[in-house]
Chains A and B, each alone.
Chain A
Amino acid sequence: AQTVTQSQPEMSVQEAETVTLSCTYDTSESDYYLFWYKQPPSRQMILVIRQEAYKQQNATENRFSVNFQKAAKSFSLKISDSQLGDAAMYFCAYKAGSARQLTFGSGTQLTVLP
């Protein structure tokens, strides 16, 4: 079974600084997708960034980028120039190519300090 591990229950970052959230996963699949979702206090889960396993290039979305290390099964999220609005729970998620559902990690609560 696939598992997703987020080893940092809580992280904090100073406004305008950079923070990296860690995620590791376990799978025997070769075709899969990885996601980072953000869940702010309003509770709606919002997709931040996604990565296809077959792509070697790391995905980037504005201030958000990933470091995808396929051999190490690592998928970290880097947030640059952190803003107060980035404060939220961040979930790493995995989806096998053949699967229909997402498997989530336990989340990292990010606090942005002014």
Chain B
Amino acid sequence: DTGVSQDPRHKITKRGQNVTFRCDPISEHNRLYWYRQTLGQGPEFLTYFQNEAQLEKSRLLSDRFSAERPKGSFSTLEIQRTEQGDSAMYLCASSLVQGAGAGNTIYFGEGSWLTVV
């Protein structure tokens, strides 16, 4: 099964440290998304890529957050100078957009849990 995979699954870090998460989307999926989910809430959109281009960023994505998708395949999400409020699960998702692509199905990974202590 070549679903969306994320690494690491869990990360505990001290406040002020930098962390990086990696996402490998489903092969040949051209669109990749990052969402954040806190306990008891639904996922919130952070950003998305069409191939290697980052086309949209949410207001939730502060300047401490940066995402890349250098070759249009895997993506990384880096959080600099982590704060306790960054503790959440970071979900990656991907989809294959064909044509207008308005109704394309989005497939999610298992997420990366971040705990900032």
Contact = CB atoms under 8 A, between A and B. Distances in A.
Contacts of B109: 44
B65 interface: no
The 8 closest A-B pairs by CB, nearest first: A104-B42, A45-B108, A101-B45, A44-B110, A97-B102, A33-B103, A91-B42, A104-B43
Interface residues on B, range: 20 to 34
Nearest to A31: B102
Contact of A43 (B31, B40, B41, B89): B89
Contacts of B110: 42-44
Contacts of A47: 105-107
8 contacts: A44-B3, A44-B111, A45-B91, A93-B42, A100-B31, A100-B48, A104-B43, A106-B42
B105 A101 contact: no
Given A43-B110, A44-B110, A45-B91, A103 B105 contact: no
B56 interface: yes
Contacts of A95: 102-103
Given A43-B110, A101-B48, 13 more contacts: A33-B103, A42-B110, A44-B110, A46-B108, A47-B105, A98-B102, A100-B31, A101-B45, A102-B106, A104-B43, A106-B41, A107-B40, A107-B41
B28 interface: no
A86 interface: no
Given A106-B41, A106-B42, A107-B42, A101 B33 contact: yes
